[in-house]
A and B are shown apart, each in its own frame.
Chain A
Amino acid sequence: MATRSYTSRRELEQHSFSPAVAILVPLAAILLQALLPRPFPRLAILDLPLIITVFFAVSRRNPVAGCLTGAAIGLLQDALTGRPIGVNGMAKSVIGYIAASIGVQVDVENLTTRIFINFGFFLLNSFLIFLINRRLLGNADFHILWLHELIRAAINTAVALPIFFLLDNTKRRE
Chain B
Amino acid sequence: MESFFTRFKNVLVLVAILLAQTIGLAVQVRRPVEPGAPDGSNVTLIRYWAVSAVTPLERFFHGLGYIVRHGWSNYVDLRHTRQQNHDLQEQIARLRLEQAALSEDAIQGHRLQALLDFQQHYVAATVAAQVIGTSGSDLSRVLYIDKGSKDGLKPDQAVITPDGIIGKLRDVFPHTSQVLLINDQTSGAGVVLATTRIRAILRGSITGQILINNLTPDSRIKPGEQVLSSGGDQVYPRGLPVGTIESIAPDPNNQPYTLIKLRPAANLNQLEEVLVITGTQPTLPVQAQHDLAAGAATAEAQAAAKQLADQQAAEAAARSAAQIVADRLPSLHDPDHPDTNDAAPAAPGTAAPGGVVPKPLPTLHPDRYTPGITPPAADLKPGAPESPNPTTVTNPPPATQSPTAQQPAATKPRKPQPPPDSTQPQPNPNN
**Residue among A33, A80, A82, A97 with max Cβ neighbours from chain B (10 Å):** A82
**Within 8 Å of chain A (Cβ to Cβ): is B170?**
yes
Point out the residue from B46, B58, B65, B271 that lies within 8 Å of A85, measured CB to CB. B46
Point out the residue from A75, A97, A143, A144 that lies within 8 Å of B10, measured CB to CB. A97
**Within 8 Å of chain B (Cβ to Cβ): is A67?**
yes
Bound complex: CA A107 to CA B282 (Å): 70
B58 and A35 contacting across the interface, CB-CB below 8 Å: yes
What are the residues of chain B within 8 A of A141 when measuring CB–CB? 185, 206
Interface code B260-282, partner A: CB below 8 Å = 1, 0 otherwise?
Answer: 00000000011100000000000
**Within 8 Å of chain B (Cβ to Cβ): is A1?**
no
B139 and A129 contacting across the interface, CB-CB below 8 Å: yes
Stretch at the interface among A14-22, A51-59, A88-96, A154-162: A88-96
Bound complex: CA A68 to CA B10 (Å): 11
Stretch at the interface among B24-32, B93-101, B221-229: B24-32
B136 and A86 contacting across the interface, CB-CB below 8 Å: no
**A26 CB to nearest B CB, Å:** 11
Bound complex: CA A41 to CA B49 (Å): 26
Bound complex: CA A76 to CA B135 (Å): 11
What are the residues of chain A within 8 A of B127 when measuring CB–CB? none
Question: Considering the complex, which residues of chain A in the window 28-59 have a beta carbon less than 8 Å from any beta carbon of chain B?
Answer: 30-31, 33-39, 41, 44-45, 47, 49
Chain B residue nearest to A93 in the complex (CB)? B17
Bound complex: CA A79 to CA B141 (Å): 13
Bound complex: CA A90 to CA B51 (Å): 20
B29 and A137 contacting across the interface, CB-CB below 8 Å: yes
A79 and B47 contacting across the interface, CB-CB below 8 Å: yes
A81 and B135 contacting across the interface, CB-CB below 8 Å: yes
What are the residues of chain A within 8 A of B18 when measuring CB–CB? 90, 93-94
B138 and A86 contacting across the interface, CB-CB below 8 Å: no
**A94 CB to nearest B CB, Å:** 7
**Within 8 Å of chain A (Cβ to Cβ): is B405?**
no
Question: Considering the complex, which residues of chain B in the window 1-45 have a beta carbon less than 8 Å from any beta carbon of chain A?
Answer: 9-10, 13-14, 17-18, 21-22, 24-25, 28-29, 36, 43
What are the residues of chain A within 8 A of B54 when measuring CB–CB? 27, 30-31, 34, 76, 80
B140 and A82 contacting across the interface, CB-CB below 8 Å: yes
**Within 8 Å of chain A (Cβ to Cβ): is B133?**
yes
Known contacts A64-B13, A141-B185, A77 near B136 by CB under 8 Å? yes
Known contacts A41-B270, A63-B10, A82 near B21 by CB under 8 Å? no
**Within 8 Å of chain A (Cβ to Cβ): is B134?**
yes
What are the residues of chain B within 8 A of A39 when measuring CB–CB? 65
Provide the main secondary structure of the chain A interface: helix
Bound complex: CA A45 to CA B207 (Å): 12
A80 and B136 contacting across the interface, CB-CB below 8 Å: yes
Point out the residue from B14, B17, B25, B141 that lies within 8 Å of A136, measured CB to CB. B25
Point out the residue from A80, A97, A132, A144 that lies within 8 Å of B135, measured CB to CB. A80
B134 and A38 contacting across the interface, CB-CB below 8 Å: yes
Question: Considering the complex, which residues of chain B in the window 107-150 have a beta carbon less than 8 Å from any beta carbon of chain A?
Answer: 131, 133-144
**Residue among B28, B54, B61, B136 with max Cβ neighbours from chain A (10 Å):** B136
Known contacts A34-B54, A41-B269, A77-B137, A85 near B17 by CB under 8 Å? no
What are the residues of chain B within 8 A of A101 when measuring CB–CB? 10
**Within 8 Å of chain A (Cβ to Cβ): is B156?**
no
**B199 CB to nearest A CB, Å:** 22
Bound complex: CA A80 to CA B47 (Å): 7
B13 and A84 contacting across the interface, CB-CB below 8 Å: no
Chain A residue nearest to B186 in the complex (CB)? A82
A44 and B136 contacting across the interface, CB-CB below 8 Å: yes
**Within 8 Å of chain B (Cβ to Cβ): is A142?**
yes
Bound complex: CA A90 to CA B23 (Å): 11
Point out the residue from B14, B36, B53 that lies within 8 Å of A67, measured CB to CB. B14
What are the residues of chain A within 8 A of B138 when measuring CB–CB? 37, 44-45
**Within 8 Å of chain B (Cβ to Cβ): is A71?**
yes
**Within 8 Å of chain B (Cβ to Cβ): is A2?**
no
What are the residues of chain B within 8 A of A38 when measuring CB–CB? 131, 133-134, 143, 271
Interface code B70-111, partner A: CB below 8 Å = 1, 0 otherwise?
Answer: 000000000000000000000000000000000000000000
Chain B residue nearest to A38 in the complex (CB)? B134
Chain A residue nearest to B69 in the complex (CB)? A39
**Within 8 Å of chain A (Cβ to Cβ): is B245?**
no
Question: Considering the complex, which residues of chain A in the window 88-146 have a beta carbon less than 8 Å from any beta carbon of chain B?
Answer: 88-90, 93-94, 97, 101, 129, 132, 136-138, 141-145
**A29 CB to nearest B CB, Å:** 9
**Within 8 Å of chain A (Cβ to Cβ): is B244?**
no
Chain B residue nearest to A37 in the complex (CB)? B134
What are the residues of chain A within 8 A of B65 when measuring CB–CB? 39
**Within 8 Å of chain A (Cβ to Cβ): is B258?**
no
B270 and A83 contacting across the interface, CB-CB below 8 Å: no
**B251 CB to nearest A CB, Å:** 13
**Within 8 Å of chain B (Cβ to Cβ): is A153?**
no
**Within 8 Å of chain A (Cβ to Cβ): is B50?**
yes
A82 and B170 contacting across the interface, CB-CB below 8 Å: yes
Interface code B212-250, partner A: CB below 8 Å = 1, 0 otherwise?
Answer: 000000000000000000000000000000000000000
**Within 8 Å of chain A (Cβ to Cβ): is B304?**
no
Bound complex: CA A68 to CA B178 (Å): 27
A82 and B17 contacting across the interface, CB-CB below 8 Å: no
Bound complex: CA A38 to CA B180 (Å): 15
A34 and B135 contacting across the interface, CB-CB below 8 Å: yes
**Within 8 Å of chain A (Cβ to Cβ): is B57?**
yes
Bound complex: CA A67 to CA B21 (Å): 12
Listed A/B pairs (6) with beta-carbon separation below 8 Å: A35-B134, A44-B136, A80-B51, A86-B24, A88-B137, A137-B25
